[in-house]
Amino acid sequence: MFEAEIIIEIPFHDVDVMRVAWHGHYAKYLEIARCELFEQFDYNVPQMDQSGYAWPVIDMRIRYAQPLRFQQKVKVKATLVEWENRFKVNYLITDAETGKRLTKAYTVQVAVDVASGEMLYVSPDIVFEKLRLKS
pLDDT tens digits along 41-75: 999 999 999 999 999 999 999 999 999 999 999 99
Number of domains in the chain: 1
Q: Confidence class of residue 92 from pLDDT cuts 50, 70 and 90?
A: very high
What's the chain's Rg over C-alpha atoms? 16
CATH code of 113's domain: 3.10.129.10
Q: For residue 135, is it within any domain?
A: no
In a domain, 39, yes or no: yes
How does the average pLDDT of the chain come out, rounded? 96
Q: Where does residue 127 rank: exposed (0-12), middle (13-18), buried (19+ CB within 10 A)?
A: buried
The predicted pLDDT at position 27 comes to 97
* CA 54/CA 51 separation, integer angstroms: 9
In this structure, is residue 58 part of a structural domain? yes
- Tell me the average pLDDT across 32-46: 96
Residue 125 lies inside a defined structural domain of this protein: yes
Cα separation, 111 vs 131, in Å, equals: 15
Which helix H or strand E contains 102, and what residues bound it?
A: strand 101-109
Cα 94 to the center of its chain, rounded Å? 15
What is the pTM assigned to this prediction?
A: 0.94
Residues of the domain holding 79: 2-130
Question: Quick one: pLDDT at residue 78?
Answer: 98
For residue 133, give every residue at least 6 positions away whose Cβ sits within 8 Å of its Cβ, in sequence order, or none: none
CA neighbor of 6 nearest in space, from 106, 99, 73: 73
